[in-house]
């Protein structure tokens, strides 16, 4: 009689009906439940407990848990039920809303599989390896069990396809940070940064979430052949902000302007009378500019090039020539340095020399006059 009653009650249910059930027993590959509002039992196979692969039922539910279930099969005296399908229906509704709103949410990484990560959101969410971080990751083993932030980047319920991205969240955070930083930056500020990469024309420096360019001409007061001669990737450097283009997110920086200038304390390095070695850099009509320290050029006026009279400096000097010079005057404030080269010449070498008549010529002046007088007679 009881069996007949059960059969009658079972027939009152149909596939697709939603019911509530209380877990009465957890076996390895299935769960037994008591259907609320009836005297029927139901079975939830392990494959219907979760959208993810489950090794044993106890990993998902415990005795006494109340579950929302859906009928997948009606047998003679019991119902075959699914927790997974109910969870999926609820999950898809929530995922659609999150996708439309571009919402960021947290979730735990349940599995590490070939090609990426798997997340349980009531439905299976997949994170391709390329969308995990904004940098290359060789091994994802340590990601299992981690809680990360995600955005949904692709959703197709019919194909049961849900693609997540942690990288998109990171990039979004960086963009927000970049905007905030751009608003705070001002020309003339001196801040600390880290050299990110080098190019032929300079170095890109991270100044807290945004990169600025230090042009090769702004790396040092000295002439720089290539940026790697001055800085290396990973170096921490002080930089001065030269300009900020907020619309195009471009920042020009200088390292050399955070350092003492080449003219700083020059009067100590090159006091009056100091003898220095230098290189002729430029020749002009009124003299020659000689570099005596990196970034410091002094003028040798044409009158200080040689004791000998010269029409143009080109008669004596050529660009690139190494010369000795003597400091005549230093003006740090105006960045002027007066030099002399003629100090190293022997002035006597350029004085006119006249030969005196020999003391004994073999005849006397009187004799010459006497001979002339004789001729006149």
3-state secondary structure of 58: helix
| Distance, CA of 9 to CA of 189 (rounded, Å) | 80
Instruction: Please report whether residue 14 resides in a domain.
Output: yes
In sequence order, what DSSP letters do the residues of 286-319 get, joined into one string? TEEEEEEETTEEEEEEGGGT-SS--SSGGGT--T
Residues 245, 292: one domain?
no
Q: Are residues 153 and 202 in the same domain?
A: no
- The model's pTM is 0.55
Same domain, 94 and 107: yes
Confidence at residue 13, expressed as pLDDT on a 0 to 100 scale:
85
- Domain membership of residue 180 (yes or no) is no
pLDDT of residue 32: 95
Residue 66 lies in a domain: yes
Last residue of a domain, one of 67, 82, 97: 82
Could you give the CA distance from residue 320 to residue 268 in angstroms, rounded to a whole number? 26
- Is residue 370 domain-resident? no
* Among 263, 280, 285, 268, CA closest to 339: 280
Q: What angle do CA 301, 304, 310 make, to 5 degrees?
A: 90
Total tally of structural domains belonging to the chain: 4
Cα–Cα distance, 345 to 322 (Å, whole number): 16
Q: Residue 368 has what pLDDT?
A: 43
For 165, half-sphere exposure in the C-beta direction (CA atoms, 13 angstrom radius) is 17
pLDDT in tens, 217-227: 999 888 889 99
Q: Which pLDDT score, from 0 to 100, does residue 113 have?
A: 94
Q: Look at residue 7 in the predicted model and tell me its pLDDT.
A: 52
Answer whether residue 92 is part of any domain: yes
Burial classification of residue 374, based on how many CB atoms lie within 10 Å of its CB (0-12 exposed, 13-18 middle, 19 or more buried): exposed
Q: Which domain holds residue 192?
A: 186-258
Residue 322 maps to a domain: yes
Residue stretches of the chain with pLDDT short of 50: 1-2, 4-5, 8, 352-370, 372-377
d(CA 162, CA 154): 6
Looking at the domain assignment, is residue 177 inside a domain? no
Burial of residue 301 (number of CB atoms within 10 Å: 0-12, 13-18, 19+): middle
Whether residues 336 and 271 fall in one domain: yes
CA gyration radius, the chain: 46
Read off the pLDDT of residues 300-339 as tens digits, 9 standing for 90 and up. Answer: 999 999 988 899 999 999 999 999 999 999 998 889 999 9
Q: Are residues 7 and 70 in the same domain?
A: yes
Domain membership of residue 181 (yes or no) is no
Do both 75 and 105 map to the same domain?
no
**Domain boundary residue among 234, 258, 282?**
258
Distance CA(172)–CA(203), nearest Å, equals 25
C-alpha closest to that of 120 among 133, 140, 137, 105: 105
Tell whether 231 and 296 lie within a shared domain: no
Task: State how far the Cα of 221 lies from the Cα of 266, in Å rounded to an integer.
Answer: 14
| Confidence at residue 212, expressed as pLDDT on a 0 to 100 scale | 94
CATH of the domain at 31: 2.40.50.140
**Closest residue by Cα to residue 118 from 91, 86, 150:** 150
The mean pLDDT value of the chain amounts to 87
Q: CB-based contacts of 121: which residues, under 8 Å, 6+ apart?
A: 91, 94, 95, 107, 162
pLDDT at residue 9, rounded to an integer: 60
Task: Copy the structure tokens of residue 202.
Answer: 């300079």
Residues 308 and 272 in one domain: yes
If asked whether residues 70 and 108 sit together in one domain, one would say no
Show which of 237, 258, 279 is a domain's final residue.
258
36 and 66 assigned to the same domain = yes
């Amino acid at each position: 009689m009881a069996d007949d009653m059960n059969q009658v009650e079972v027939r009152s249910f149909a596939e697709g009906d939603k019911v509530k059930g209380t877990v009465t027993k957890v076996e390895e590959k299935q769960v037994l439940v008591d259907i609320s509002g009836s005297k029927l039992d139901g079975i939830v196979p392990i494959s219907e407990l979760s959208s993810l692969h489950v090794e044993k039922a106890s990993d998902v539910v415990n005795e006494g848990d109340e579950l929302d279930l859906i009928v997948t099969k009606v047998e003679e005296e019991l119902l075959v039920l699914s927790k997974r399908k109910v969870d999926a229906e609820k999950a898809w509704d929530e995922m659609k809303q999150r996708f439309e709103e571009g919402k960021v949410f947290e979730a735990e990484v349940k599995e590490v599989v070939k090609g990426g990560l798997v997340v349980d959101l009531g439905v299976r969410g997949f994170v391709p390896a390329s969308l995990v971080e904004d940098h290359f990751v060789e091994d994802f083993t340590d990601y299992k069990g981690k809680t990360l932030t995600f955005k949904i980047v692709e959703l197709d319920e019919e194909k049961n396809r849900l693609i997540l991205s942690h990288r998109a969240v990171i990039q979004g955070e960086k963009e927000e940070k970049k905007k905030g930083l751009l608003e705070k930056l001002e020309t003339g500020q001196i801040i600390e940064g880290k050299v990110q990469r080098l190019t032929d024309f300079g170095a890109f420096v991270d100044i807290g979430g945004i990169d600025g360019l230090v042009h090769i001409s702004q790396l040092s007061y000295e002439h720089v052949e290539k940026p790697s001669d001055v800085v290396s990737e990973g170096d921490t450097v002080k930089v001065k902000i030269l300009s900020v283009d907020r619309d195009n997110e471009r920042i020009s920086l200088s390292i050399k302007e955070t350092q003492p200038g080449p003219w700083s304390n020059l009067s100590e390095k090159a006091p009056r009378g100091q003898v220095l070695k230098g290189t002729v850099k430029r020749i002009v009509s009124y003299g020659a500019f000689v570099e005596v320290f990196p970034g410091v050029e002094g003028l040798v006026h044409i009158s200080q090039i040689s004791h000998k009279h010269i029409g143009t400096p080109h008669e004596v000097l050529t660009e690139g020539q190494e010369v000795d010079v003597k400091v005549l005057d230093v003006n740090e404030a105006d960045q002027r340095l007066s030099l002399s080269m003629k100090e190293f010449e022997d002035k006597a070498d350029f004085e006119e020399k006249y030969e005196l008549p020999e003391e004994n010529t073999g005849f006397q002046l009187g004799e010459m006059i006497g001979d002339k007088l004789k001729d006149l007679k």
